[in-house]
């Protein structure tokens, strides 16, 4: 799977419920590495499998402060704080007419507990808050066919969708 191609809004793959990874093999490890490269090349902080055309449950993400990279296989958010916060989000799959990500404010839980399997097959869990919590929620949503624009409504959604419609595939 060497030719991973970025998928953008309108591609049905982005709306697909992804299936669990059953085994960690060389192909998966290679794909994860390639996704980290793609994420960095596009100055992103997260990239989920369906964004590169694979309907399996895995993602890569980076915590912006320390640039720590996480490769998460079958990630699952097991708890969410009641407290929410608003942050600006963008997505490498949601582009405007200028071919750059479109941004919008989204409200989500401020902190979450996430469980995942890492690339060595180890079961891990972490409580994340602030920006990392935001990233992991956005990326795990991708595995369920959900995009951040789904949280927008009314005039804000219309404004964002107008920009997205200007994007030429």
Secondary structure string (H, E, C) spanning the chain: CCCCCCCCCCCHHHHCCCECCCCCCHHHHHHHHHHHHHHHHCCCCEEEHHHHCCCECEEEEEECCCCEEEEEEEEEEEEECCCEEEEEECECCEECCCCCECCEEEEEECEEEEEEECCCCCEEEEEEEHHHHHHHHHHHHHHCCCCHHHHCCHHHHHHHHHHHHCCCC
Query: Minimum distance from CB of 46 to Ni ion (Å)?
Result: 6
| Cβ closest to Ni ion, residue 61 vs residue 91 | 91
Per CB under 5 A, does 104 bind Ni ion? no
Residue nearest to Ni ion (CB): 91
Query: Minimum distance from CB of 121 to Ni ion (Å)?
Result: 26
| Cβ closest to Ni ion, residue 24 vs residue 73 | 73
Query: Minimum distance from CB of 50 to Ni ion (Å)?
Result: 9
Binding mask 75-94 for Ni ion (x = CB under 5 A): ----------------x---
| Cβ closest to Ni ion, residue 12 vs residue 121 | 12
Q: Which residues are catalytic?
A: 139
Can you give the binding site for Ni ion, defined by CB under 5 A?
Answer: 91
């Amino acid at each position: 799977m060497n030719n991973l191609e970025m998928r953008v809004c309108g591609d049905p793959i982005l709306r697909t419920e992804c299936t669990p990874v059953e085994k960690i093999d060389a192909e998966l490890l290679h794909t994860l590495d390639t996704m980290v490269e793609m994420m960095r090349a596009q100055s992103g902080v997260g990239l989920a499998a369906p964004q590169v055309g694979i309907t399996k449950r895995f993602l890569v993400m980076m915590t912006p402060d320390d640039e720590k990279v996480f490769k998460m296989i079958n990630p699952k958010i097991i708890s969410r704080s009641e407290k929410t916060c608003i942050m600006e989000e963008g997505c490498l799959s949601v582009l405007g007419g200028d071919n750059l990500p479109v941004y919008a404010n989204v409200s989500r839980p401020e902190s979450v507990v996430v469980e995942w399997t890492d690339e060595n097959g180890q079961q891990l869990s972490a409580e994340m808050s602030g920006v990392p919590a935001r990233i992991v929620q956005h990326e795990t949503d991708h595995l369920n066919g959900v995009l951040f624009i789904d949280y927008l409504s009314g005039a804000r959604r219309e404004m964002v969708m107008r920009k997205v419609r200007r994007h030429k595939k």
